[in-house]
Amino acid sequence: MPTRARPIRLLIRAVLTAACLGLPLAGLAAPAAERPAPESRPGAERPAVAIAAEIAAAPDGGTRLTVVLSRPVEARAFVMERPDRAIVDLPEVNFQLPAEAGRKREGLVASYRYGLFAPGRSRIVIDLAQAATVARVATTTRPRDGATLLAIDLSRSDREAFRRAAQPPEPARAAGPPSREGTDSRPLVIVDAGHGGIDPGAIAGPGIYEKDIVFGVAQGLVQRLEASGRFRVQMTRDRDVFVPLAERVRIARDARADLFVSIHADSISAAPQVRGATIYTGSEKATDAESARLADRENKADAAAGADQGEGPGDVADILQELTLRETRGFSARFAKGLLTRLSGVMEMSVKPHREAGFRVLRSPDVPSVLVELGYLSSKRDLDLLLSDEWRAKVTAQMAGAIETFFAARLPPAATARAADGARIGKAAQITPAQGAPAPVSP
């Protein structure tokens, strides 16, 4: 976002906000409330470790999921609909289950997934094959080794009883790393690694999850940007944890980010020949049916994890969004064009490499945002590249170069000098720029 344009836009927005709320203009000078600190795990006890799990159907039509843990934990279970699923909330658990765990259909269990749902909290989500209730959740000690057996018993239910028992999704806010504000005038880039925790994203096979692949790429991009010294960089998640979609947008907006880059990978099992990367920018109308399908699937991530799908706090009135949305989308498209030029030199691009769709993470009205689908996990050629450290290094180098070019063309001389000063006092790590990367901005 241009440094000169932002103060004007922010002032207009603040004035209109105050007018809509009936606030005195003098109150505009008050500092914004600080984001709450990330929740810390209570106590010093290490998380319990889940080492095995099995499903068994009972003669009465019920089904039991048993999880073997290193020590006892407290568990709370309930059911939710649309889609039908049973939820088991736990304190933080270190899941060390076999890669194939959760993929087998048995009795009332269609599948299940597990992971970190929020700081200090883990969750097991059981996709139900039919309406069912959680009849019992209990722990016992296995005599031979002292391990804890967590038993989750499911019983058949009719639709009406299931509907009465189903709970609405709870709001789930997983606080991201704190923003770094103050007098640092360098552009702030938010790097968003898609999915995480209980939400694995696309799955290529046992133990090969989209959430892990894109997190590795995101880390590589962050390291390059930080090593340049020209940017402040923040990740929406810095470990394998679930972060609701609306929270990802809030992190960027609350931090007053200058750019939001979301990193994903796609999968179409019915068309393994389809491959290549695609860059998406936000729009109410999708470019094509494929773009609409992908956005719809990504937008359901919160529901699959049993979280509230709320849009999050928006602007006070539509007029405030209209003041900045068109300009922001213009910057998003401009960055997408530059990123496409960079990436097309080192990777295969899809037939339509720049598309638009209604991704929820791209709905910020005042932060230029793009979503990059690096390739298809369903394509063997793409998957081999996605798992290659050498390929990832090339891709992150070009992504970093595109970000440098985007801001170098927009920073006024004073801001450019400040960015160069930041580079001199920033991290000492050095990463060799990719061939064709832009020359450093002169102070």
From the list 359, 350, 207, 396, the residue with the least C-alpha distance to 280 is 359
Q: What is the pTM of this model?
A: 0.74
**Residue predicted with more confidence, 229 or 184:** 229
pLDDT for 155-180, tens place per residue?
999 999 999 999 776 655 544 454 44
Which residue type sits at 34? E
Percent of the chain past pLDDT 90, that is, above it, reads 67
CA dist 345 to 313, 353, 395, 435, Å? 39, 13, 10, 10
Tell me the mean pLDDT in the region 437-441.
33
Residues in the chain: 443
d(CA 150, CA 440) in angstroms, rounded, equals 57
Do 148 and 52 meet the contact criterion of CB atoms below 8 Å apart?
A: no
SS3 at position 6: helix
84, β-bridge pairs: none
DSSP-derived secondary structure letter, 399: H
Placement of tokens 């552009």 in the chain: 187
Average pLDDT, the chain: 82
Q: Within a 10 A sphere around the Cβ of 143, how many other Cβ atoms?
A: 7
- 3-state SS of the chain: helix, strand, coil percent to 5? 30, 25, 40
Q: What is the pLDDT of residue 318?
A: 60
Does domain 172-425 fall under CATH 3.40.630.40? My reply is yes
Give the helix/strand (H/E) hosting 11. Answer: helix 5-21
Number of H helices, E strands in the chain: 10, 17
DSSP-derived secondary structure letter, 178: P
The two tokens of residue 336 are 């997408």
pLDDT for 141-156, tens place per residue?
999 999 999 999 999 9
8 pLDDT higher than 70: no
pLDDT for 390-431, tens place per residue?
999 999 999 999 999 999 976 554 444 444 444 433 333 333
DSSP-derived secondary structure letter, 197: T
Rounded to 5 degrees, φ, ψ at 98 are -55, 150
pLDDT for 360-400, tens place per residue?
999 999 999 999 999 999 999 999 999 999 999 999 999 99
Q: What is the pLDDT of residue 82?
A: 86
d(CA 118, CA 122) in angstroms, rounded, equals 7
Q: What is the pLDDT of residue 6?
A: 52
Q: Within a 10 A sphere around the Cβ of 391, how many other Cβ atoms?
A: 18
As annotated, the residues of the chain forming the CATH 2.60.40.3500 domain(s) are: 48-165
Tell me the mean pLDDT in the region 257-274.
94
Residue by residue, DSSP assigns 207-254 as: TEEHHHHHHHHHHHHHHHHHHHTS-EEEES-SSS----HHHHHHHHHH
As annotated, the residues of the chain forming the CATH 3.40.630.40 domain(s) are: 172-425
**Residue predicted with more confidence, 127 or 433:** 127
Placement of tokens 């944890």 in the chain: 241
Angle at 83 between CA 82 and CA 88, to 5 degrees: 110
The two tokens of residue 334 are 């401009």
Domain at 48-165: CATH code: 2.60.40.3500
Tell me the mean pLDDT in the region 112-134.
95
d(CA 339, CA 403) in angstroms, rounded, equals 8
Q: What is the pLDDT of residue 21?
A: 42
Do 349 and 278 meet the contact criterion of CB atoms below 8 Å apart?
A: yes
Interstrand relation of 63-69 and 148-156 (parallel, antiparallel or unpaired)? antiparallel
Do 392 and 399 meet the contact criterion of CB atoms below 8 Å apart?
A: no
Placement of tokens 């160069």 in the chain: 420
